[in-house]
Amino acid sequence: MTWWRDAVVYQLYTRSFADSNGDGVGDLRGLIDKLDHLAWLGIDVIWLSPVMPSPNTDWGYDVADYCDVHPELGSLSDFDELIETADRRGIRVLNDLVPNHTSDRHAWFVDARSSVDAAHRDWYVWADGRGDGEPPNNWVSSFGGPAWTLDETTGKYYLHLFLPTQPDLNWWNEGVRDAFDEIVRFWFDRGVAGFRIDVCQSIVKDAELRDNPAATELDPPQVRLYGQRHVFSGNRPEVHDVIKNWRRIARRYKPERLLLGETYVWALDALADFYGLRNDELQLGFNIPFVFAHLDAEALHAIVDDVQRLFPRHAWPAWTGSNHDAGRFPTRWCRGDERKVRCALLMLLTLRGTPVLYYGDEIGMPNTPLELDDLRDPVGLRFYPAYHGRDPGRTPMHWNAEDGAGFTSDVVKSWLPLGGYESCNVAAQRNDPGSVLHLTRDLIALRRSSADLRRGAYKSRVPHNGLWVYRRGRRTAIALNFSDEEATVRRLKGRVLISTTRQLDDQDVGGAFSLGPWEGVAVELAG
CB of 70 or CB of 156, closer to Ca ion: 70
Is the separation of the CB atoms in 321 and 251 below 8 Å?
no
**Catalytic residue, candidates 96, 198, 306, 519:** 198
Phi-psi region of 356 (alpha: psi -120 to 50; beta: other; left: phi over 0): beta
Q: What is the SS3 string spanning 426-444? A: HHHHHCCCCCHHHHHHHHH
Of ligand GLC, Ca ion, none, which one sits near residue 61, judging by CB under 5 to 8 A according to partner kind? ligand GLC
Distance of alpha carbon 466 from alpha carbon 320, whole angstroms? 20
The residues that touch Ca ion, with contacts defined as CB under 5 A, are 19, 21, 23, 25, 27
In whole angstroms, the minimum distance from the beta carbon of 379 to ligand GLC comes to: 7
Integer CA distances (angstroms), 415 to 71, 72, 356, 403, 424, in order? 15, 12, 25, 15, 20
CB of 392 or CB of 396, closer to Ca ion: 396
- Does 68 qualify as catalytic in the annotation? no
Distance of alpha carbon 285 from alpha carbon 310, whole angstroms? 14
In whole angstroms, the minimum distance from the beta carbon of 221 to Ca ion comes to: 38
DSSP line for 288-310: HHHHHS-S-HHHHHHHHHHHHHH
Of Ca ion, ligand GLC, none, which one sits near residue 273, judging by CB under 5 to 8 A according to partner kind? none
The residues that touch ligand GLC, with contacts defined as CB under 6 A, are 58, 61, 98, 162, 198-199, 262, 324-325
Distance of alpha carbon 54 from alpha carbon 163, whole angstroms? 14
In whole angstroms, the minimum distance from the beta carbon of 164 to ligand GLC comes to: 13
Is the separation of the CB atoms in 248 and 184 below 8 Å?
no
Of Ca ion, ligand GLC, none, which one sits near residue 98, judging by CB under 5 to 8 A according to partner kind? ligand GLC
The enclosing H or E element of 95 equals: strand 92-97
Of Ca ion, ligand GLC, none, which one sits near residue 104, judging by CB under 5 to 8 A according to partner kind? none
In whole angstroms, the minimum distance from the beta carbon of 260 to ligand GLC comes to: 12
N-terminal to C-terminal alpha carbon distance within the chain = 32
CB of 99 or CB of 463, closer to ligand GLC: 99
Of ligand GLC, Ca ion, none, which one sits near residue 452, judging by CB under 5 to 8 A according to partner kind? none
CB of 199 or CB of 300, closer to ligand GLC: 199
Distance of alpha carbon 198 from alpha carbon 432, whole angstroms? 37
Of ligand GLC, Ca ion, none, which one sits near residue 324, judging by CB under 5 to 8 A according to partner kind? ligand GLC
Distance of alpha carbon 278 from alpha carbon 153, whole angstroms? 46
In whole angstroms, the minimum distance from the beta carbon of 61 to ligand GLC comes to: 3
Phi-psi region of 240 (alpha: psi -120 to 50; beta: other; left: phi over 0): alpha
**Closest residue to ligand GLC, based on beta-carbon distance:** 61
**Catalytic residue, candidates 44, 72, 262, 391:** 262
CB of 92 or CB of 324, closer to ligand GLC: 324
The enclosing H or E element of 285 equals: strand 284-285
- Does 256 qualify as catalytic in the annotation? no
Integer CA distances (angstroms), 335 to 2, 294, 329, 332, 499, in order? 36, 11, 8, 6, 21
Of Ca ion, ligand GLC, none, which one sits near residue 199, judging by CB under 5 to 8 A according to partner kind? ligand GLC
CA 414, distance to chain mean position in Å, is 24
In whole angstroms, the minimum distance from the beta carbon of 382 to ligand GLC comes to: 12
In whole angstroms, the minimum distance from the beta carbon of 324 to ligand GLC comes to: 6
CB of 233 or CB of 425, closer to ligand GLC: 233
Residues in the chain: 527
State whether residue 449 is helix, strand or coil.
helix
User: So which residues are the catalytic ones?
Assistant: 198, 262
